[in-house]
Amino acid sequence: MQLETFQVFCDLAQTRSLTATARHFRLTRKAARRQLALLERELQTGLTERCRQQLRLTPAGRVCRRHGAQMVATLRRLEAALQQARALAASEFHLAVCFAIGFHQLPACLRRFQAAHPAARVKVSYGTPARVHEAVENLEADLGLTIHPQHRPGLVLDITRRGPPALVCHPQHPFATRPAVRLRELAGQTFIGLRDTPHPAHLEKIPNHLRHRFEPLVECHDVEMVMRMVEIGEGVALLPRVTLQDKIAQGILAAVPLTGGNYVQPQAVLHRQGRQLTPLMKSFIEFLKSPE
């Protein structure tokens, strides 16, 4: 039973004229009569009868008119609400982002993205990499953006950036003035890491009986706390260089390239497998991949 059929009947019940109703809906008189016949066949009862060149509603027709008008009004509201929901979905999305990217890269990135898409609305929530994965898995967020992406069933990973991390240390640390530090020189250092993230990939090149020398002895919930611990001289860390620019410029931290491990730290956008991405979401992903 279609909305158009009820609309035709409700108009016919008011005009009592097939010709007038057909003209109103830009139909032929025959097409208007067909709509009425379809409704009567569906309801298995006659709704009109002719009386002196004019249509008259049967008792069933009067009941149908009363309830049909309510149905038409309800369906019109539903149609308008669905149209509004489609428009809203096309112009906004929810992004879950890890602290490391959200506090440093994302603000400037969003400004450029929204300059290119003035009508876009991006709702942002922050958390650890593990929390970003959970938000996308639980449909709390449309997209996730994180370092340390993990391959999990039902999630799609789209790598947006891949690069070597920096060894972060206090400006007075012996490594601070070095042009680079080799992986093997890190044995015995106190590593500060992120909680709920996989171990750094450089550990794969370390023999099992030596890994304890490179594993984090201190774990923090977010990158800001990791940097604060390094700042007060509690150890060293491996972090994306982009998160350190301000503190390096201020002389609060030092960042040294790490060599000898072929260790890269990827960033990725996550979304649910099978989830249909809107054109705006696809544009955002491509925007993240493009050079700044």
- Domain ranges across the chain: 3-89, 91-162+267-289, 165-263
For 66, the token pair is 């009363």
Q: Identify the pLDDT of residue 53.
A: 67
Q: What is the pLDDT of residue 219?
A: 73
Question: At 97, is the pLDDT very low, low, confident or very high (cuts 50, 70, 90)?
Answer: very high
The model's confidence at residue 269, banded by pLDDT at 50, 70 and 90, is very high
The CATH homologous superfamily of the domain defined by 165-263: Periplasmic binding protein-like II (3.40.190.10)
SS3 helix, strand, coil % of the chain, rounded to 5? 45, 25, 30
* Residue 80 or residue 34, greater confidence: 34
Going by pLDDT thresholds of 50, 70 and 90, the confidence category of residue 210 is: low
Domain 91-162+267-289: which CATH class? alpha beta
pLDDT at 1: 55
**pLDDT tens sequence across 99-158:** 888 888 888 889 988 888 888 889 999 988 889 999 999 999 999 999 888 888 999 999
- For residues 31 and 69, the answer to whether their CB atoms sit within 8 Å is no
> Is pLDDT above 90 for 203?
no
Report the alpha-carbon distance of residue 175 to residue 167 in Å, rounded. Answer: 9
Q: Is the pLDDT reported for residue 88 higher than 50?
A: no
Bridge partners (DSSP) listed for residue 245: none
Do the two domains 91-162+267-289 and 165-263 of this chain adopt the same fold? yes
Please give the distance of CA 91 from its chain centroid, rounded to a whole number: 12
State the alpha helices, DSSP H only, in 17-126: 18-24, 29-43, 59-91, 99-102, 106-116
What was the pLDDT predicted at 105?
83
Residue range 3-89, CATH number = 1.10.10.10
- Whole-number Cα distances in Å, 167 to 162, 192, 262: 16, 11, 13
- Compute the distance between CA of residue 83 and CA of residue 98 in angstroms, rounded to an integer: 33
User: Is the pLDDT confidence value at 200 over 50?
Assistant: yes
Q: What pTM was computed for the model?
A: 0.59
